[in-house]
């Protein structure tokens, strides 16, 4: 098989996450990187043995070269996707693009057009489509074993400390700086629902949401502005000391500590533990991850519901909620005319048949190869990049479940839900997912 070569644009958490596949698959090679931050750039360069002339501080430097690899893996922050994706597509790079594809409908459309006009392969990292449970549910619905789908209930539990890390202190805390939490976090879930129901389309959307708790007025008496000098930190479940410093001291340097240290778990550390702990301490004294969760510039929703009605009257309720025990383990119930599917995404899909009255646990077939480090999203990250690399090798685009059209379709639903929430109304959609104007 032909070797697939890639340049990584943004060697942060996700860039490293996909690049590691090159250590597991001999047909995939990382040949370049663009990354402005010195430490992640140097760690990445060393780990993937990238020559100096293929290491860039900005993607704009890399694009000046003539096309240097089969693929550009674009894993920069949300608001940086569109310009880079269009530029690399115009240079005929195939794209692995992190979600969200873009932060508005027009950005997403521009990316899709650029990929189509240049006839390049695009996979957006809606990794959950590749999760064995999601594929099993799709297969079961399509097979008709539960008859006609009547209703879907789907929940995304973000996790109390995960929410504090990413959506109060971290990169996705503020919509103007990144995107809404529905787009940043739950575009995966809206996408799954759209995937499972691809035989029809959504024609009505409503949504409610708010930001609770993580606000200045809820700051407890005696709390400091940083956890390192807070007198009641040991009674706070959101303590940055517990979340980062204690983990670092125990040698637990993977995510989320790696976000604070700007080092990544897949990359060999160049520092010893004592230095890393000092580094974390200093970052908590001065950086964003040491801030009191009641004293940040966050404004994204901590809970949101989205109600969807499909063309033939089927309904779906989706809930995203910040403060949960489970971290991102989705849970789904799908009610059909002949049976029911129930799944927590850390276990099998249960099928209850109304005729036989038997419940059958159905295990998804695809597992991670033993020893794989790509355990992200329970192995879905592995299946996504594997499918993408195989699609590039063979030219068979059907291997990609999250290509331009299906991604645009589910992103449009997210934008419609946000419109419904912000304008406090039902948004009616046409067959192409576009809001039908002036219908309240
Ligand atoms: N698929 C998923 O489940 C999933 C999970 C988490 C994050 N994400 C998405 O992945 C993207 C990246 O998230 P992350 O957690 O890796 O963030 P990150 O901040 O760790 O990584 C982004 C990197 O891009 C780099 N960068 C910034 N400007 C650049 C430029 N001009 N040229 C090259 N690189 C540049 C940053 O320095 C940073 O290292 C985001 O869009 C995020 O929403 C997706």
Tens digit of each residue's pLDDT (9 = 90 or more) over 241-254:
999 999 999 989 88
58 CB less than 6 Å from ligand 1? yes
Q: Does ligand 1 come within 6 angstroms of the Cβ of 10? A: yes
**What would you measure as the largest C-alpha separation in the chain, in angstroms?**
65
Residue 379 above 90 pLDDT?
A: no
Q: What are phi and psi of 5, to 5 degrees?
A: -105, 150
| Per-residue confidence (pLDDT) for residue 265, from 0 to 100 | 57
**Shortest-distance Cα residue to atom 38 of ligand 1:** 12
**Distance from the CA of 360 to the center of ligand 1, in angstroms?**
40
Tokens coding 63: 């694009």
Residue 438 has pLDDT above 60, yes or no: no
In this predicted structure, which of 279-283, 391-395, 434-438 has the lowest mean pLDDT?
434-438
The pLDDT of residue 229 is above 90:
yes
3-state secondary structure of 389: helix
Q: Lowest-pLDDT range, 4-8, 265-269, 281-285?
A: 265-269
pLDDT digits (tens, 9 = 90+) for 195-207: 999 999 999 999 9
Does the structure show a pLDDT above 80 at 95? Answer: yes
Q: Which residue is closest in CA terms to ligand 1's atom 25?
A: 10
Q: Which atom of ligand 1 is nearest to the CA of 126?
A: 1
Mean pLDDT of 43-71: 96
β-bridge partners, 352: 340, 359
CB of 404 closer than 6 angstroms to any ligand 1 atom: no
**185 close to 158: Cβ distance less than 8 angstroms:** yes
Average pLDDT for 261-271: 64
189 Cβ closer than 6 Å to some ligand 1 atom: no
Alpha carbons 40 and 47: distance in angstroms, whole number: 10
Q: Is residue 131 in contact with ligand 1, taking CB distance under 6 Å?
A: no
Please give the mean pLDDT across all residues of the chain: 95
Structure tokens at 48: 């993937």
> Could you tell me whether strands 202-210 and 94-97 are parallel, antiparallel, or unpaired per DSSP bridges?
unpaired
| Intervals of CATH 3.30.360.10 along the chain | 128-214+298-428
- Exposed, middle or buried by CB within 10 Å (0-12, 13-18, 19+), for 234? exposed
Residue 371: pLDDT band with limits 50, 70, 90: confident
**Does domain 128-214+298-428 sit in CATH 3.40.50.620?**
no
The 3-state secondary structure of 308-333 reads EEECCCCEEEEEEECCCCCCCCCEEE
Over residues 138-149, mean pLDDT: 98
**Residue ID of nearest Cα to ligand 1 atom 22:** 76
Task: Judge whether residue 267 has pLDDT over 60.
Answer: no
The DSSP output letter for 114 is H
**Whether the CB of 36 sits within 6 Å of ligand 1:** yes
DSSP 8-state symbol, 429: B
Cβ of 33 below 6 Å from ligand 1? no
Does any ligand 1 atom lie closer than 6 A to the CB of residue 98? Answer: yes
- For the segment 331-358, the average pLDDT, to the nearest whole number, is 97
Q: Give CATH for domain 4-120.
A: 3.40.50.720
Distance 166 CA to ligand 1 centre (A): 12
Mean pLDDT across the stretch 258-270? Answer: 71
| pLDDT score for 69 | 98
C-alpha–C-alpha distance, residues 277 and 281, integer Å: 6
Instruction: Show the beta-strand stretches assigned E in 158-301.
Output: 202-210
Q: Give CA–CA dist 345/377, Å, rounded.
A: 10
Nearest to 126 by CA among 82, 83, 184: 184
* Average pLDDT for 260-276: 72
320: phi then psi, degrees, rounded to nearest 5: -110, 130
pLDDT in tens, 98-110: 999 999 999 999 9
State the distance from the centre of ligand 1 to the C-alpha of 246, rounded, in angstroms. Answer: 25
Cα angle, residue 32 at apex, residues 27 and 33 outer, rounded to 5°: 125
Q: Where in the chain is the domain with CATH 3.40.50.720?
A: 4-120
Q: How many CB atoms lie within 10 A of CB 86?
A: 19
Ligand 1 neighbourhood includes 170 CB (under 6 angstroms): no
Confidence of residue 271 (pLDDT cuts 50, 70, 90): low
pLDDT-derived band at 440, boundaries 50, 70, 90:
very low
């Amino acid at each position: 098989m032909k070797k697939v070569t890639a340049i990584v644009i943004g060697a942060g958490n996700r860039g490293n996450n996909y690049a590691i596949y090159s250590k597991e698959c001999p047909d995939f090679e990382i040949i370049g990187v663009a990354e402005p931050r010195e430490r992640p750039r140097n760690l990445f360069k060393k780990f993937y043995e990238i020559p100096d002339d293929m290491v860039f501080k900005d993607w704009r430097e890399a694009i000046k070269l003539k096309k240097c690899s089969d693929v550009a893996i674009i894993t920069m922050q949300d608001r940086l996707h569109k310009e880079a994706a269009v530029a690399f597509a115009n240079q005929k790079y195939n794209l692995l693009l992190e979600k969200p594809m873009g932060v508005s409908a027009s950005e997403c459309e521009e990316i899709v057009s650029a990929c189509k006009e240049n006839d390049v392969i695009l996979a957006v990292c809606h990794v959950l489509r590749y999760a064995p449970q999601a594929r099993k549910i799709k297969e079961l619905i399509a097979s008709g074993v539960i008859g006609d789908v009547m209703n879907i209930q789907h929940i995304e539990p973000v996790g109390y400390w995960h929410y504090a890390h990413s959506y109060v202190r971290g990169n996705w805390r503020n919509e103007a700086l990144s995107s809404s939490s529905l787009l940043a976090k739950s575009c995966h879930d809206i996408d799954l629902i759209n995937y499972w129901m691809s035989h029809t389309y959504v024609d009505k959307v409503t949504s409610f949401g708010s930001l609770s708790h993580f606000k200045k007025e809820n700051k407890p008496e005696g709390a400091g502005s940083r956890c390192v000098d807070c007198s009641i930190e040991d009674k706070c479940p959101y303590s940055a000391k517990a979340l980062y410093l204690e983990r670092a001291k125990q040698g637990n340097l993977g995510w989320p500590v790696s976000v604070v240290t700007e080092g990544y778990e897949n990359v060999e550390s160049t520092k010893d533990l004592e230095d890393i702990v000092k580094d974390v301490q200093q970052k908590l004294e001065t950086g964003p991850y040491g801030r009191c969760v009641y004293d940040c510039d966050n404004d994204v929703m901590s809970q949101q519901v989205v109600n969807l009605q499909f063309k033939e009257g089927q309904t779906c309720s989706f809930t995203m909620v910040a403060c949960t025990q489970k971290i991102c383990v989705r849970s789904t119930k799908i009610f059909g005319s002949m049976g029911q599917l129930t799944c927590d995404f850390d276990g099998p899909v249960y099928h209850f048949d109304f005729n036989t009255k038997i419940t059958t646990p159905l295990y998804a077939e695809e597992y991670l190869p033993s020893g794989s480090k790509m355990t992200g999203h329970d192995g879905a990250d592995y299946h996504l990049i594997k499918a993408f690399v195989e699609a590039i090798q063979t030219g068979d685009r059907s291997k990609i479940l999250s290509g331009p059209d299906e991604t645009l379709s589910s992103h449009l639903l997210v934008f419609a839900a946000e419109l419904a929430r912000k304008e406090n109304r039902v948004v009616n959609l046409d067959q192409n997912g576009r809001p039908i104007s002036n219908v309240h």
